[in-house]
Structure 1
Amino acid sequence: MDTLVSDPRGPFFGALAHGFACGAHIPIHNAQAWNALVDPAAAGGEARESLRENWGITSPEEWREQADHLLAGENVGPETDHLLHLRRDLIGRNGRCDLPMWRDAISQWARWRGLDADLAKEFGRTAGMIIRYEARFRADGILPLNGIVNSVLGYDFGRAVNMARWGFGSSYCDYRTAESIVLRAGQLTRQYYVTWADYGAGYALGRVLRFDNEEYGHMYGSVLGPHRMLMFEQASPWRHIPFS
Protein backbone atom coordinates (compact mmCIF):
# COMPACT_ATOMS: atom_id res chain seq x y z
CA MET A 1 0.00 0.00 0.00
CA ASP A 2 1.32 3.44 -0.91
CA THR A 3 2.55 5.18 2.23
CA LEU A 4 4.22 8.57 2.66
CA VAL A 5 7.12 8.05 5.09
CA SER A 6 9.73 10.63 6.13
CA ASP A 7 13.00 10.03 7.97
CA PRO A 8 13.29 12.64 10.77
CA ARG A 9 17.07 12.61 10.28
CA GLY A 10 16.80 13.33 6.55
CA PRO A 11 16.57 16.71 4.79
CA PHE A 12 13.21 18.46 4.48
CA PHE A 13 14.35 21.67 2.79
CA GLY A 14 17.06 22.69 0.35
CA ALA A 15 18.61 21.20 -2.75
CA LEU A 16 19.18 17.72 -1.34
CA ALA A 17 15.58 17.45 -0.15
CA HIS A 18 14.43 18.62 -3.59
CA GLY A 19 16.48 15.88 -5.22
CA PHE A 20 15.09 13.22 -2.92
CA ALA A 21 11.56 14.50 -3.61
CA CYS A 22 12.13 13.96 -7.33
CA GLY A 23 12.56 10.27 -6.60
CA ALA A 24 9.74 9.95 -4.08
CA HIS A 25 7.37 7.83 -6.18
CA ILE A 26 9.21 4.56 -5.61
CA PRO A 27 9.81 4.84 -1.84
CA ILE A 28 6.18 5.86 -1.36
CA HIS A 29 5.03 2.79 -3.28
CA ASN A 30 7.38 0.65 -1.15
CA ALA A 31 6.47 2.41 2.15
CA GLN A 32 10.05 3.63 2.61
CA ALA A 33 11.37 7.04 3.61
CA TRP A 34 11.47 9.41 0.64
CA ASN A 35 14.27 11.56 2.11
CA ALA A 36 16.93 8.98 2.98
CA LEU A 37 19.32 6.58 1.32
CA VAL A 38 18.90 2.87 1.93
CA ASP A 39 20.85 1.84 5.03
CA PRO A 40 23.52 -0.69 3.96
CA ALA A 41 23.67 -2.16 7.45
CA ALA A 42 19.95 -2.92 7.43
CA ALA A 43 19.31 -3.86 3.80
CA GLY A 44 22.64 -4.43 2.08
CA GLY A 45 21.89 -7.96 0.90
CA GLU A 46 18.31 -7.15 -0.03
CA ALA A 47 19.35 -4.04 -1.96
CA ARG A 48 21.98 -5.96 -3.92
CA GLU A 49 19.52 -8.72 -4.74
CA SER A 50 16.97 -6.18 -5.95
CA LEU A 51 19.53 -4.51 -8.22
CA ARG A 52 20.56 -7.89 -9.59
CA GLU A 53 17.02 -9.07 -10.29
CA ASN A 54 15.54 -5.82 -11.59
CA TRP A 55 18.52 -4.18 -13.29
CA GLY A 56 21.09 -6.92 -13.88
CA ILE A 57 23.57 -4.98 -11.72
CA THR A 58 26.13 -7.05 -9.84
CA SER A 59 29.08 -4.69 -9.33
CA PRO A 60 29.93 -1.07 -8.48
CA GLU A 61 31.01 -0.54 -12.10
CA GLU A 62 27.67 -1.73 -13.48
CA TRP A 63 25.83 0.37 -10.92
CA ARG A 64 27.75 3.51 -11.89
CA GLU A 65 27.13 2.89 -15.58
CA GLN A 66 23.38 2.60 -15.03
CA ALA A 67 23.30 5.69 -12.81
CA ASP A 68 25.06 7.67 -15.54
CA HIS A 69 22.62 6.35 -18.16
CA LEU A 70 19.70 7.53 -16.06
CA LEU A 71 21.17 10.98 -15.47
CA ALA A 72 21.72 11.28 -19.22
CA GLY A 73 18.12 10.25 -19.95
CA GLU A 74 19.40 7.33 -22.00
CA ASN A 75 17.31 4.63 -20.35
CA VAL A 76 13.92 6.02 -21.31
CA GLY A 77 15.62 7.38 -24.46
CA PRO A 78 15.37 10.70 -26.33
CA GLU A 79 12.91 9.58 -29.01
CA THR A 80 9.71 10.43 -27.15
CA ASP A 81 11.07 13.85 -26.20
CA HIS A 82 11.76 14.49 -29.90
CA LEU A 83 8.09 13.79 -30.61
CA LEU A 84 6.96 16.04 -27.77
CA HIS A 85 9.24 18.82 -29.05
CA LEU A 86 7.65 18.55 -32.50
CA ARG A 87 4.22 18.94 -30.94
CA ARG A 88 5.25 21.99 -28.91
CA ASP A 89 6.62 23.53 -32.09
CA LEU A 90 3.33 22.93 -33.90
CA ILE A 91 1.35 24.45 -31.04
CA GLY A 92 3.66 27.46 -31.03
CA ARG A 93 3.19 28.03 -34.75
CA ASN A 94 -0.48 27.08 -35.14
CA GLY A 95 -1.97 27.51 -31.69
CA ARG A 96 -3.07 23.88 -31.69
CA CYS A 97 -1.95 20.37 -32.63
CA ASP A 98 -4.29 17.46 -33.22
CA LEU A 99 -3.12 13.91 -33.85
CA PRO A 100 -3.20 14.08 -37.69
CA MET A 101 -1.11 17.28 -37.64
CA TRP A 102 1.32 15.70 -35.23
CA ARG A 103 1.68 12.51 -37.24
CA ASP A 104 2.22 14.49 -40.43
CA ALA A 105 4.99 16.48 -38.74
CA ILE A 106 6.52 13.22 -37.48
CA SER A 107 6.52 11.79 -41.02
CA GLN A 108 8.20 14.91 -42.41
CA TRP A 109 10.77 14.91 -39.61
CA ALA A 110 11.47 11.20 -40.17
CA ARG A 111 12.03 11.73 -43.90
CA TRP A 112 14.34 14.67 -43.18
CA ARG A 113 16.32 12.48 -40.78
CA GLY A 114 16.37 9.60 -43.28
CA LEU A 115 14.66 7.25 -40.84
CA ASP A 116 13.18 3.93 -41.85
CA ALA A 117 9.48 4.11 -42.83
CA ASP A 118 8.54 1.45 -40.28
CA LEU A 119 10.22 3.44 -37.53
CA ALA A 120 8.32 6.55 -38.61
CA LYS A 121 5.06 4.59 -38.34
CA GLU A 122 6.05 3.40 -34.88
CA PHE A 123 6.63 7.00 -33.82
CA GLY A 124 3.17 7.83 -35.16
CA ARG A 125 1.68 5.04 -33.06
CA THR A 126 3.55 6.36 -30.02
CA ALA A 127 2.01 9.78 -30.62
CA GLY A 128 -1.44 8.23 -30.54
CA MET A 129 -0.60 6.40 -27.33
CA ILE A 130 0.59 9.66 -25.75
CA ILE A 131 -2.66 11.39 -26.70
CA ARG A 132 -4.69 8.62 -25.09
CA TYR A 133 -2.58 8.52 -21.92
CA GLU A 134 -2.85 12.29 -21.57
CA ALA A 135 -6.64 12.04 -21.81
CA ARG A 136 -6.57 9.48 -19.00
CA PHE A 137 -4.17 11.67 -17.02
CA ARG A 138 -6.65 14.56 -17.22
CA ALA A 139 -9.47 12.32 -16.03
CA ASP A 140 -7.34 11.08 -13.12
CA GLY A 141 -5.94 14.48 -12.14
CA ILE A 142 -2.35 13.97 -13.26
CA LEU A 143 -2.81 16.68 -15.89
CA PRO A 144 -5.03 19.76 -15.79
CA LEU A 145 -7.75 20.32 -18.36
CA ASN A 146 -6.03 20.78 -21.76
CA GLY A 147 -2.65 20.06 -20.15
CA ILE A 148 0.06 18.17 -22.04
CA VAL A 149 3.32 16.48 -21.11
CA ASN A 150 6.46 18.36 -22.13
CA SER A 151 9.17 15.76 -21.45
CA VAL A 152 9.47 12.17 -20.23
CA LEU A 153 13.12 12.44 -19.17
CA GLY A 154 11.95 13.04 -15.62
CA TYR A 155 11.25 9.32 -15.37
CA ASP A 156 14.97 8.63 -15.70
CA PHE A 157 15.92 11.47 -13.36
CA GLY A 158 13.55 10.17 -10.68
CA ARG A 159 14.93 6.67 -11.04
CA ALA A 160 18.48 8.03 -10.81
CA VAL A 161 17.62 9.24 -7.30
CA ASN A 162 16.58 5.72 -6.38
CA MET A 163 19.62 4.23 -8.09
CA ALA A 164 21.65 6.39 -5.70
CA ARG A 165 19.60 5.12 -2.74
CA TRP A 166 20.10 1.50 -3.77
CA GLY A 167 23.75 1.95 -4.70
CA PHE A 168 24.57 3.23 -1.23
CA GLY A 169 22.44 0.52 0.35
CA SER A 170 24.35 -2.10 -1.65
CA SER A 171 27.73 -0.57 -0.68
CA TYR A 172 28.40 0.03 -4.37
CA CYS A 173 29.23 3.69 -3.59
CA ASP A 174 29.93 5.95 -0.66
CA TYR A 175 27.51 8.50 0.77
CA ARG A 176 29.06 11.48 -1.01
CA THR A 177 28.76 9.79 -4.40
CA ALA A 178 25.12 8.88 -3.80
CA GLU A 179 24.34 12.39 -2.58
CA SER A 180 25.92 13.93 -5.68
CA ILE A 181 23.64 11.84 -7.90
CA VAL A 182 20.57 12.92 -5.94
CA LEU A 183 21.60 16.56 -6.28
CA ARG A 184 22.34 16.21 -10.00
CA ALA A 185 18.97 14.57 -10.63
CA GLY A 186 17.27 17.48 -8.91
CA GLN A 187 19.19 19.97 -11.03
CA LEU A 188 18.20 18.17 -14.22
CA THR A 189 14.50 18.16 -13.37
CA ARG A 190 14.61 21.96 -13.07
CA GLN A 191 16.10 22.18 -16.55
CA TYR A 192 13.18 20.32 -18.13
CA TYR A 193 10.20 21.17 -15.91
CA VAL A 194 8.75 24.24 -14.21
CA THR A 195 6.50 22.82 -11.46
CA TRP A 196 6.05 19.64 -9.45
CA ALA A 197 2.85 18.94 -11.38
CA ASP A 198 4.69 19.33 -14.69
CA TYR A 199 7.45 17.01 -13.51
CA GLY A 200 5.00 14.47 -12.08
CA ALA A 201 3.11 14.19 -15.37
CA GLY A 202 6.38 13.68 -17.27
CA TYR A 203 7.52 11.01 -14.83
CA ALA A 204 4.18 9.23 -15.09
CA LEU A 205 4.14 9.25 -18.90
CA GLY A 206 7.70 7.95 -19.06
CA ARG A 207 6.76 5.05 -16.80
CA VAL A 208 3.57 4.00 -18.55
CA LEU A 209 5.03 4.29 -22.04
CA ARG A 210 7.86 2.04 -20.94
CA PHE A 211 5.91 -0.58 -19.02
CA ASP A 212 2.12 -0.26 -19.12
CA ASN A 213 1.31 -0.76 -22.84
CA GLU A 214 -2.13 0.87 -22.34
CA GLU A 215 -3.24 -1.84 -19.96
CA TYR A 216 -3.89 0.65 -17.11
CA GLY A 217 -2.92 -2.04 -14.67
CA HIS A 218 -0.32 -2.22 -11.90
CA MET A 219 2.24 -0.08 -13.75
CA TYR A 220 -0.33 2.68 -14.10
CA GLY A 221 -1.72 2.39 -10.59
CA SER A 222 1.74 2.31 -9.02
CA VAL A 223 2.48 5.77 -10.40
CA LEU A 224 -1.02 7.24 -10.00
CA GLY A 225 -1.23 6.52 -6.26
CA PRO A 226 2.14 8.08 -5.35
CA HIS A 227 1.47 11.03 -7.65
CA ARG A 228 -1.78 11.82 -5.87
CA MET A 229 -0.09 11.56 -2.47
CA LEU A 230 2.74 13.82 -3.58
CA MET A 231 0.37 16.41 -5.02
CA PHE A 232 -2.29 16.47 -2.30
CA GLU A 233 -1.08 15.06 1.04
CA GLN A 234 -0.32 17.87 3.49
CA ALA A 235 2.94 16.20 4.57
CA SER A 236 4.12 15.70 0.97
CA PRO A 237 7.54 17.16 0.12
CA TRP A 238 5.97 18.53 -3.06
CA ARG A 239 3.73 20.71 -0.89
CA HIS A 240 6.52 22.38 1.08
CA ILE A 241 9.66 22.22 -1.13
CA PRO A 242 9.63 24.86 -3.91
CA PHE A 243 10.27 23.22 -7.27
CA SER A 244 12.42 26.09 -8.50
Structure 2
Amino acid sequence: MSSCGHVDTLVSAPSGPFFGPLAHGFACGAHIPIHSAQPWNALVDPATGAQETRDSLQESWGITTAGEWREHVDLLLAGEDMGQDTDLLLRLRRDVIGRAGRCDLPLWREAIQQWGQWRGATPELIKEFTVSAGMIIRYEARFRADGLLPPDGIVNSVRGYDFGRAVNMARWGFGSRFCEYRDAEATVLRAGELVRAHYSSWADYGGGYALGRVLRFDNEEYGHTYESVLGPNQMLLTDQASPWRHIRFS
Protein backbone atom coordinates (compact mmCIF):
# COMPACT_ATOMS: atom_id res chain seq x y z
CA MET A 1 0.00 0.00 0.00
CA SER A 2 1.34 3.41 -0.93
CA SER A 3 1.51 6.37 1.39
CA CYS A 4 -1.64 7.80 -0.18
CA GLY A 5 -3.69 4.69 0.60
CA HIS A 6 -3.69 3.37 -2.95
CA VAL A 7 -3.25 -0.41 -3.16
CA ASP A 8 -0.93 -1.83 -5.82
CA THR A 9 0.52 -5.31 -6.24
CA LEU A 10 3.86 -6.37 -7.70
CA VAL A 11 3.26 -9.57 -9.68
CA SER A 12 5.94 -11.40 -11.67
CA ALA A 13 5.46 -14.18 -14.21
CA PRO A 14 7.85 -17.05 -13.29
CA SER A 15 8.31 -17.84 -17.00
CA GLY A 16 9.00 -14.22 -17.94
CA PRO A 17 12.40 -12.50 -18.17
CA PHE A 18 13.99 -11.04 -15.03
CA PHE A 19 17.28 -9.84 -16.50
CA GLY A 20 18.53 -8.56 -19.85
CA PRO A 21 17.17 -6.15 -22.46
CA LEU A 22 13.68 -7.66 -22.67
CA ALA A 23 13.23 -7.54 -18.90
CA HIS A 24 14.46 -3.94 -18.95
CA GLY A 25 11.86 -3.06 -21.58
CA PHE A 26 9.08 -4.72 -19.60
CA ALA A 27 10.22 -2.86 -16.47
CA CYS A 28 9.75 0.42 -18.34
CA GLY A 29 6.06 -0.43 -18.69
CA ALA A 30 5.58 -1.74 -15.17
CA HIS A 31 3.39 1.07 -13.78
CA ILE A 32 0.22 -0.13 -15.49
CA PRO A 33 0.42 -3.88 -14.73
CA ILE A 34 1.33 -3.12 -11.10
CA HIS A 35 -1.73 -0.89 -10.83
CA SER A 36 -3.93 -3.67 -12.26
CA ALA A 37 -2.16 -6.54 -10.42
CA GLN A 38 -0.92 -8.14 -13.66
CA PRO A 39 2.57 -9.60 -14.27
CA TRP A 40 5.01 -6.83 -15.17
CA ASN A 41 7.24 -9.16 -17.23
CA ALA A 42 4.75 -10.85 -19.56
CA LEU A 43 2.51 -10.17 -22.51
CA VAL A 44 -1.22 -10.73 -22.19
CA ASP A 45 -2.07 -14.34 -23.07
CA PRO A 46 -4.28 -14.28 -26.20
CA ALA A 47 -5.62 -17.73 -25.38
CA THR A 48 -7.40 -16.42 -22.30
CA GLY A 49 -7.66 -12.67 -22.70
CA ALA A 50 -8.15 -11.84 -26.39
CA GLN A 51 -11.74 -10.58 -26.33
CA GLU A 52 -11.39 -8.75 -23.02
CA THR A 53 -8.22 -7.06 -24.25
CA ARG A 54 -9.84 -6.06 -27.55
CA ASP A 55 -12.80 -4.59 -25.69
CA SER A 56 -10.44 -2.63 -23.44
CA LEU A 57 -8.41 -1.31 -26.38
CA GLN A 58 -11.59 -0.15 -28.10
CA GLU A 59 -12.96 1.53 -24.98
CA SER A 60 -9.74 3.23 -23.84
CA TRP A 61 -7.94 3.89 -27.12
CA GLY A 62 -10.51 3.55 -29.90
CA ILE A 63 -8.42 0.73 -31.40
CA THR A 64 -10.38 -1.94 -33.29
CA THR A 65 -7.91 -3.25 -35.89
CA ALA A 66 -4.31 -4.38 -36.18
CA GLY A 67 -3.59 -1.38 -38.38
CA GLU A 68 -4.88 1.07 -35.76
CA TRP A 69 -2.83 -0.74 -33.13
CA ARG A 70 0.30 -0.30 -35.24
CA GLU A 71 -0.38 3.41 -35.74
CA HIS A 72 -0.67 3.93 -31.98
CA VAL A 73 2.52 1.99 -31.31
CA ASP A 74 4.43 4.09 -33.82
CA LEU A 75 3.03 7.29 -32.30
CA LEU A 76 4.05 6.25 -28.79
CA LEU A 77 7.53 5.13 -29.80
CA ALA A 78 8.01 8.50 -31.51
CA GLY A 79 7.11 10.19 -28.22
CA GLU A 80 4.42 12.18 -30.01
CA ASP A 81 1.20 11.16 -28.28
CA MET A 82 1.92 13.28 -25.22
CA GLY A 83 2.83 16.11 -27.57
CA GLN A 84 6.03 18.02 -28.12
CA ASP A 85 5.12 21.19 -26.21
CA THR A 86 5.96 19.92 -22.73
CA ASP A 87 9.38 18.65 -23.76
CA LEU A 88 10.04 21.98 -25.48
CA LEU A 89 9.17 23.75 -22.22
CA LEU A 90 11.48 21.47 -20.25
CA ARG A 91 14.25 22.07 -22.78
CA LEU A 92 13.89 25.83 -22.35
CA ARG A 93 14.32 25.35 -18.60
CA ARG A 94 17.43 23.21 -19.09
CA ASP A 95 18.90 25.96 -21.27
CA VAL A 96 18.33 28.50 -18.48
CA ILE A 97 19.91 26.17 -15.93
CA GLY A 98 22.87 25.72 -18.25
CA ARG A 99 23.39 29.47 -18.43
CA ALA A 100 22.40 30.61 -14.95
CA GLY A 101 22.92 27.50 -12.85
CA ARG A 102 19.30 27.64 -11.70
CA CYS A 103 15.80 28.27 -13.03
CA ASP A 104 12.92 29.47 -10.89
CA LEU A 105 9.49 30.26 -12.33
CA PRO A 106 10.24 33.94 -13.16
CA LEU A 107 13.38 32.95 -15.09
CA TRP A 108 11.47 30.21 -16.88
CA ARG A 109 8.68 32.63 -17.82
CA GLU A 110 11.25 35.06 -19.15
CA ALA A 111 12.75 32.29 -21.29
CA ILE A 112 9.29 31.45 -22.61
CA GLN A 113 8.69 35.08 -23.55
CA GLN A 114 12.04 35.28 -25.35
CA TRP A 115 11.36 32.02 -27.19
CA GLY A 116 7.91 33.25 -28.16
CA GLN A 117 9.27 36.50 -29.58
CA TRP A 118 11.98 34.64 -31.50
CA ARG A 119 9.51 32.15 -32.96
CA GLY A 120 6.71 34.64 -33.51
CA ALA A 121 4.42 32.60 -31.26
CA THR A 122 0.89 33.81 -30.58
CA PRO A 123 0.11 35.44 -27.22
CA GLU A 124 -2.26 32.56 -26.54
CA LEU A 125 0.50 29.98 -26.95
CA ILE A 126 2.90 31.97 -24.77
CA LYS A 127 0.22 32.18 -22.08
CA GLU A 128 -0.45 28.44 -22.37
CA PHE A 129 3.26 27.69 -21.97
CA THR A 130 3.50 30.01 -18.96
CA VAL A 131 0.54 28.33 -17.26
CA SER A 132 2.03 24.89 -17.99
CA ALA A 133 5.38 25.91 -16.51
CA GLY A 134 3.71 26.84 -13.24
CA MET A 135 1.80 23.57 -13.19
CA ILE A 136 4.98 21.58 -13.80
CA ILE A 137 6.80 23.31 -10.95
CA ARG A 138 3.91 22.60 -8.57
CA TYR A 139 3.76 18.94 -9.60
CA GLU A 140 7.51 18.59 -9.15
CA ALA A 141 7.25 20.06 -5.65
CA ARG A 142 4.57 17.50 -4.82
CA PHE A 143 6.69 14.73 -6.38
CA ARG A 144 9.60 15.69 -4.15
CA ALA A 145 7.37 15.77 -1.07
CA ASP A 146 6.03 12.30 -1.90
CA GLY A 147 9.45 10.84 -2.68
CA LEU A 148 8.77 10.41 -6.38
CA LEU A 149 11.66 12.79 -7.10
CA PRO A 150 14.80 13.36 -5.00
CA PRO A 151 14.91 16.57 -2.89
CA ASP A 152 16.52 18.58 -5.69
CA GLY A 153 15.05 16.61 -8.59
CA ILE A 154 13.30 17.97 -11.66
CA VAL A 155 11.83 16.31 -14.75
CA ASN A 156 13.72 16.72 -18.01
CA SER A 157 11.38 14.88 -20.41
CA VAL A 158 7.85 13.48 -20.39
CA ARG A 159 8.37 11.25 -23.41
CA GLY A 160 8.80 8.39 -20.97
CA TYR A 161 5.04 8.39 -20.53
CA ASP A 162 4.69 7.48 -24.20
CA PHE A 163 7.49 4.91 -24.07
CA GLY A 164 6.03 3.20 -21.00
CA ARG A 165 2.62 3.00 -22.62
CA ALA A 166 4.20 1.57 -25.78
CA VAL A 167 5.35 -1.40 -23.70
CA ASN A 168 1.79 -1.95 -22.56
CA MET A 169 0.48 -1.49 -26.07
CA ALA A 170 2.77 -4.40 -27.00
CA ARG A 171 1.29 -6.47 -24.17
CA TRP A 172 -2.23 -5.69 -25.31
CA GLY A 173 -1.49 -6.03 -29.01
CA PHE A 174 -0.30 -9.60 -28.58
CA GLY A 175 -3.09 -10.37 -26.14
CA SER A 176 -5.72 -9.16 -28.59
CA ARG A 177 -4.09 -11.00 -31.53
CA PHE A 178 -3.41 -7.69 -33.28
CA CYS A 179 0.27 -8.63 -33.64
CA GLU A 180 2.65 -11.59 -33.54
CA TYR A 181 4.89 -12.26 -30.56
CA ARG A 182 7.99 -11.05 -32.42
CA ASP A 183 6.29 -7.70 -33.14
CA ALA A 184 5.31 -7.25 -29.50
CA GLU A 185 8.79 -8.19 -28.31
CA ALA A 186 10.41 -5.77 -30.76
CA THR A 187 8.17 -2.98 -29.43
CA VAL A 188 9.13 -3.75 -25.82
CA LEU A 189 12.84 -3.77 -26.70
CA ARG A 190 12.60 -0.53 -28.68
CA ALA A 191 10.76 1.22 -25.85
CA GLY A 192 13.49 0.14 -23.45
CA GLU A 193 16.17 1.55 -25.76
CA LEU A 194 14.34 4.88 -25.98
CA VAL A 195 13.96 5.14 -22.21
CA ARG A 196 17.71 4.62 -21.82
CA ALA A 197 18.37 7.29 -24.44
CA HIS A 198 16.20 9.93 -22.74
CA TYR A 199 16.80 9.24 -19.04
CA SER A 200 19.72 8.64 -16.70
CA SER A 201 18.20 6.32 -14.09
CA TRP A 202 15.03 4.52 -13.06
CA ALA A 203 14.16 7.40 -10.73
CA ASP A 204 14.69 9.92 -13.52
CA TYR A 205 12.47 7.89 -15.84
CA GLY A 206 9.79 7.43 -13.17
CA GLY A 207 9.52 11.19 -12.71
CA GLY A 208 9.13 11.73 -16.45
CA TYR A 209 6.51 9.01 -16.77
CA ALA A 210 4.55 10.31 -13.79
CA LEU A 211 4.60 13.94 -14.93
CA GLY A 212 3.37 12.93 -18.37
CA ARG A 213 0.44 11.05 -16.87
CA VAL A 214 -0.68 13.74 -14.44
CA LEU A 215 -0.34 16.52 -17.00
CA ARG A 216 -2.58 14.54 -19.33
CA PHE A 217 -5.25 13.44 -16.88
CA ASP A 218 -4.98 14.88 -13.36
CA ASN A 219 -5.42 18.67 -13.78
CA GLU A 220 -3.88 19.27 -10.35
CA GLU A 221 -6.64 17.39 -8.57
CA TYR A 222 -4.18 14.94 -6.91
CA GLY A 223 -6.89 12.31 -6.94
CA HIS A 224 -7.14 8.83 -8.41
CA THR A 225 -4.95 9.63 -11.42
CA TYR A 226 -2.17 10.93 -9.20
CA GLU A 227 -2.45 8.02 -6.77
CA SER A 228 -2.52 5.47 -9.61
CA VAL A 229 0.94 6.55 -10.75
CA LEU A 230 2.41 7.43 -7.35
CA GLY A 231 1.65 4.04 -5.80
CA PRO A 232 3.30 1.92 -8.52
CA ASN A 233 6.23 4.32 -8.77
CA GLN A 234 6.88 4.11 -5.02
CA MET A 235 6.69 0.33 -5.22
CA LEU A 236 9.07 0.20 -8.17
CA LEU A 237 11.59 2.39 -6.35
CA THR A 238 11.43 0.70 -2.94
CA ASP A 239 10.10 -2.88 -3.10
CA GLN A 240 12.94 -5.40 -2.80
CA ALA A 241 11.32 -7.54 -5.52
CA SER A 242 10.92 -4.60 -7.91
CA PRO A 243 12.54 -4.95 -11.33
CA TRP A 244 13.90 -1.43 -10.86
CA ARG A 245 15.91 -2.73 -7.90
CA HIS A 246 17.56 -5.66 -9.69
CA ILE A 247 17.74 -4.63 -13.38
CA ARG A 248 20.52 -2.23 -14.30
CA PHE A 249 19.14 0.88 -15.95
CA SER A 250 22.02 1.21 -18.40
User: What is aligned with 1:151?
Assistant: 157
Query: SS state of the match for residue 180, structure 1?
Result: helix
User: What is aligned with 2:224?
Assistant: 218
Post-superposition offset of 1:113 = 1.5
User: What is aligned with 2:171?
Assistant: 165
For residue 228 of structure 1, what is the amino acid of its counterpart?
A: Q
Aligned-residue Cα RMSD (Å) equals 0.6
Deviation track 1:169-220 (CA, whole Å, cap 9, x = no partner) reads: 0000000000000000000001110100000000000000000000000000
User: What is aligned with 1:109?
Assistant: 115
Q: Say which is worse superposed, 49-58 or 77-86, in terms of deviation.
A: 77-86
Matched, 1:23 2:48: no
User: What is aligned with 2:213?
Assistant: 207
Post-superposition offset of 1:28 = 0.1
Post-superposition offset of 1:108 = 1.1
What TM-score, normalized to structure 1? Answer: 0.99
Q: Distance in 1 between matches of 2:87 and 2:245?
A: 27
Deviation track 1:31-74 (CA, whole Å, cap 9, x = no partner) reads: 00000000001100000000000000000000000000000011
Q: Distance in 1 between matches of 2:214 and 2:110?
A: 24
The answer for unaligned runs of 5 or more in structure 1 is none
State the identity as a percent: 73
| Alignment equivalent of 1:82, drawn from 77, 84, 88 | 88
| Alignment equivalent of 1:181, drawn from 171, 180, 187 | 187
1:94-133 mapped onto 2 (5 Å cutoff): 94-133=100-139
Q: Distance in 1 between matches of 2:229 and 2:107?
A: 30
Deviation track 1:210-242 (CA, whole Å, cap 9, x = no partner) reads: 000000000000000000100000000000000
User: What is aligned with 2:50?
Assistant: 44
Q: Distance in 2 between matches of 1:122 and 1:84?
A: 14
What TM-score, normalized to structure 2? Answer: 0.97
1:46-65 mapped onto 2 (5 Å cutoff): 46-65=52-71
Misfit runs of 4+, over 4 Å: none
Post-superposition offset of 1:110 = 1.6
Post-superposition offset of 1:107 = 1.3
Q: Distance in 2 between matches of 1:27 and 1:19?
A: 13
